[in-house]
Chains A and B, each alone.
Chain A
Amino acid sequence: KAGVTQTPRYLIKTRGQQVTLSCSPISGHRSVSWYQQTPGQGLQFLFEYFSETQRNKGNFPGRFSGRQFSNSRSEMNVSTLELGDSALYLCASSLRPENTEAFFGQGTRLTVV
């Protein structure tokens, strides 16, 4: 059974640009969560999607957005990139929101220059 797949693995963008990251959950999993990991702030919850609906959102500006498709794949978008957006972005999937066991992908390393 394939795990959580995140693409791309690495990304370099310029300040002011926008970026889209993709996450394909484990087959059958319908809940997808996103986290930002930085050396300074650690791991922070961005948002969670289930059945194409955003259920929860962390404390991030509106430049951070996401969506989920009918096949449960999810994308997150960051507009008007800032240097501080450089981070490892991790995606986690679970069967449903109430399932506590979340499986993580290997992340996308975003560097903003």
Chain B
Amino acid sequence: AQTVTQSQPEMSVQEAETVTLSCTYDTSESDYYLFWYKQPPSRQMILVIRQEAYKQQNATENRFSVNFQKAAKSFSLKISDSQLGDAAMYFCAYRSPRAGGGADGLTFGKGTHLIIQP
């Protein structure tokens, strides 16, 4: 079974600064998908960014970008120009390429609580 590890339970950053959230994973599959989800106090999980393992180019969505290191099984999220609205729990997630994600669906890390200091 795959595992996802987020080693930072909490991170704090000043507004307008840049912060990087770490994520490592373990899998024996060569093709898969990786995601970062944001969960604000409203509890709704919001997809921030997605990366296909077969793509070497790192995904970017506006102020959010990833550093995908396949050999190291590392998938970090960089948030540039942090805003107060970025404050939330951030979850790294893995999905098997098999339809439906296989028996594990999405496998999530434990999350990182991101605090934005005004």
Interface residues of A (CB under 8 A from B): 31, 33, 35, 42-45, 48, 50, 55-58, 88, 90, 92, 96-98, 100-107, 109
Mask, B107-118, CB within 8 Å of A = 1, is 111110000000
Residues of B with C-beta under 8 A to A58: 103-105
Q: Is there contact, CB below 8 Å, between A55 and B100?
A: yes
Q: Is there contact, CB below 8 Å, between B45 and A48?
A: no
24 contacts between A and B (CB under 8 A): A33-B105, A42-B110, A42-B111, A43-B91, A43-B106, A44-B108, A45-B106, A45-B107, A48-B100, A50-B100, A56-B102, A56-B103, A56-B104, A56-B105, A58-B104, A92-B106, A96-B99, A98-B99, A98-B100, A101-B47, A101-B50, A103-B47, A106-B43, A109-B43
Question: How many residue pairs at the A-B interface have CB separations less than 8 Å?
Answer: 68
In the complex, how many residues of chain B place their beta carbon closer than 8 angstroms to a beta carbon of chain A? 25
Q: Is there contact, CB below 8 Å, between A105 and B105?
A: no
Question: Would you call the interface of chain B mostly helix, strand, loop, or mixed?
Answer: mixed
- B84 an interface residue at 8 Å Cβ cutoff? no
Give the complex CA separation of A104 and B91 in angstroms.
13
Q: Is there contact, CB below 8 Å, between A107 and B43?
A: yes
- B16 an interface residue at 8 Å Cβ cutoff? no
Residues of A with C-beta under 8 A to B109: 42
Give the complex CA separation of A80 and B45 in angstroms.
28
Q: Is there contact, CB below 8 Å, between B47 and A102?
A: yes
**How far apart are B103's CB and chain A's nearest CB, in angstroms?**
5
Residues of B with C-beta under 8 A to A97: 99-101
Q: Is there contact, CB below 8 Å, between A92 and B45?
A: yes
